[in-house]
Structure 1
Amino acid sequence: MASTTLPFAAARQMMADSQLRPNKVTNPAVLVAMRDIPRETFLPPALGALAYADQDVRLGDDRVLMSPMAFARLAQLIAPVPGERILVVCGGTGYGAAVLARCGARVTVLDTDAGLMDVGAAAVRALGLSISFQKGDPEQGLPGVEPWDAILIEGAVETIPPVFAAQLRPGQGRLVTVVAKSGHPGVAVLAERQGTALATADMFDCTTTVLPGFRKVIEFQF
C-alpha cells in the first residue's frame, strides 16, 4: 500500500505547486481541498496513473475527468462558501463535487451515466464525504427543488440551457461552465440570474471536452 500511496501524495503536492499556483489558483479552500482529495480514487484503476497529468483524462463516451488546472480555476470562480447548496451537472465520477464538498458546500451530482456515478459514490464514501448522486437529464437540471446557490456544469457546452436560470437563487446565485465557441478554444463563463434569463460574462480562456447533449442543434435553412 505504501508504494502507491506515497507517490500519489507527492503528485498531489506537485499538482498544486506546478499546475495550480502558477495558473492563478489562489483560493485557499480550493487549494487545500485539491491537495487533500485523491483524484486517483475517482478514476477506474486502469486510469489511475493519469490522475495528476496536466490534461483531461478520457473516460469514454465523450466524458472526461477535467484537467486539474481547468477544474481548479472553475472551482475558484464559483468561490464555494461553507453551507451553500451546489449542483454539479455532469459531475461524472464526482471528483469536482468532492472538492466543493471539502470546501464546505452541500453538493448534489446530476448525471445520466450510472457507471460513472457508481465510481464516485464509492470514492466519496471512502473519504467520509456526504454527496448526493442523482440520475437524470443534465440538460434539464433538477427542477422542482429549492433554487441552488451555485451550479457547475462540469465540462464544456455549446449553449447553456435557459432552464437553469429558474434553478439559481436570485441575488447571489451563480452558474459556472465553459462555453465552446466557433474558432475559439473555449471560455469559462460566470452566469447570474436576471429575471427569467441568465446574464453571462466571459472570464478566462479554458479548454475542455464538450459534453454530450450540450451541443447546439443545427438548424437547416431552405
Structure 2
Amino acid sequence: MTENFAEARLSMVLSQLRPNNVTSDRVADAMNTVPREEFVPKDLRGVAYMDEDLAIAEGRYLIEPRVFARLLQEARVEESDVVLDVAVGTGYSSAVLGELAQAVVAIESTAGMVEKASEILTRLEADNVAVVEGNLQDGNAKQGPYNVIHVNGAIPAVPQALLDQLADGGRLICVIGTNPGVATVIYRKGDRFHDEQVFDAAVPALPELRPAEEFSF
C-alpha cells in the first residue's frame, strides 16, 4: 500500500510542531513542503514523520521534527539570508532552510555524503542549496559570511572558525551538550558575541565536531 506522505507531513505539523511552541508559519509551511521521506533510507520511509531522531548514516541523523522546527524558529531565518548548514547528511535540513532563505551552503565531510545529498536536492529542485565537502569545524569561509549558521547535532562547544564566519547581526543555532543539551543561539554584533539559551534539547551528538579552539561565554 502506498504511504500518504502528504497527510503524514500535515499531521507532523499539527500534532508535533504546533503543540510544542512552534508558532512560526514560515517554519511550519517549509516543513510541510519538504518531503522528509526522500531523505531517509527506504526501510525508514514509513516512520519518516515520527517524532524521533532517525539515523540516516554513520554519525548522521534527521533531528526529531519538533526540535528541528524550534531550532529554525529561534534562528529567525529571513528570505534574504545566506545560511551555512553544518553536517547535513542527506540534506533534509538544507532543503527546509532553502525554503526559508535566499541561499544555503550545505557542508559535509565525505564525498559519499556530498554526492548523496546533492543527488536528492537536485532531484527535488532545491536550486538555492549548494552541497560542499569540507572539514565540519572549519566551516566554509570562502562563501561566507553567513547570516545564519545551523549545526546538525549536539556539540560540546562552538568552533571559533564557525563564529568567525557569522556576518554582523548573524545568528548561530546549535545544541550544546547532551542528556539533555541546551539549544543556544549565538548572536554577533561587530566583533562581540553573546548567547541566549532557549530550551532544553536532547539530540544525537556530532562526534566529528571537536573544536581545537572553543568559544567561552
Same-fold call, TM cutoff 0.5: yes
1:65 alignment partner in structure 2: 62
Q: Does 1:77 align with 2:74?
A: yes
Aligned to 1:169: 167
Distance 1:95 1:105 in 2: 16
Q: 2:130 aligns with which of 113, 129, 132?
A: 132
1:36 aligns with 2:33: yes
Quickly say closer, same or farther: Cα 1:19–1:104, change in 2 above 3 A: same
Rate the CA distance shift 1:216–1:118 in 2: closer, same or farther, 3 A. Answer: closer
Per-residue deviation, 1:200: 1.8
Q: 1:180 aligned to 2:174? A: no
Report which of the two has the higher share of strand: 2
| Counterpart residue type for residue 147 of structure 2 | D
Distance 2:143 2:102 in 1: 17
Percent of residue pairs identical = 34
Counterpart Cα distance in 1 of 2:208 and 2:189: 25
Map of 1:1-222 to 2, 5 A cutoff? 3-4=1-2, 7-130=4-127, 131-170=129-168, 172-181=169-178, 184-194=179-189, 196=191, 198-215=193-210
Which structure has the bigger radius of gyration? 1
Q: In the alignment, is the contact (CA less than 8 A) between 2:56 and 2:89 conserved in 1?
A: no
Ranges of 4+ aligned residues in structure 1 off by more than 4 Å: 194-197
Pick closer, same or farther for the CA change 1:123–1:4 going to 2, 3 Å.
Answer: farther
- Corresponding letter in the other structure for 2:122: R
CA distance in 2, matches of 1:27, 1:157: 26
- Partner amino acid, structure 2, of 1:200: D
Q: Compared with structure 1, are the counterparts of its residues 156 and 61 closer, same or farther at alpha carbon in structure 2 (3 Å cutoff)?
A: same
RMSD: 1.8
* 1:46 to partner: Cα distance: 2.1
**What is the TM-score when the length of structure 1 is the normalising length?**
0.88
Separation of aligned partners in 2, 1:74 and 1:114: 27
* Alignment match, 1:220: none
Give the number of equivalent residue pairs: 211
1:36-78: CA deviation from partner (whole Å, max 9, x where unpaired): 1100101121221221111100124222111111111111111
How far apart, in 2, do the equivalents of 1:111 and 1:212 lie? Answer: 13
Amino acid at match of 1:148: Y
Residue equivalent to 2:215: none
> How far apart are the structure 2 equivalents of 1:194 and 1:84?
16
- The two structures have a TM-score, normalised by structure 2, of 0.90
User: Per-residue deviation at 1:118?
Assistant: 2.7
- For 1:205 and 1:56, the matched residues in 2 are separated by 15
Unaligned runs of 5+ in 2: 213-217
Cα-to-partner distance string for 1:58-110 (whole Å, 9 max, x where unaligned): 12422211111111111111111112100001111111111111124310101
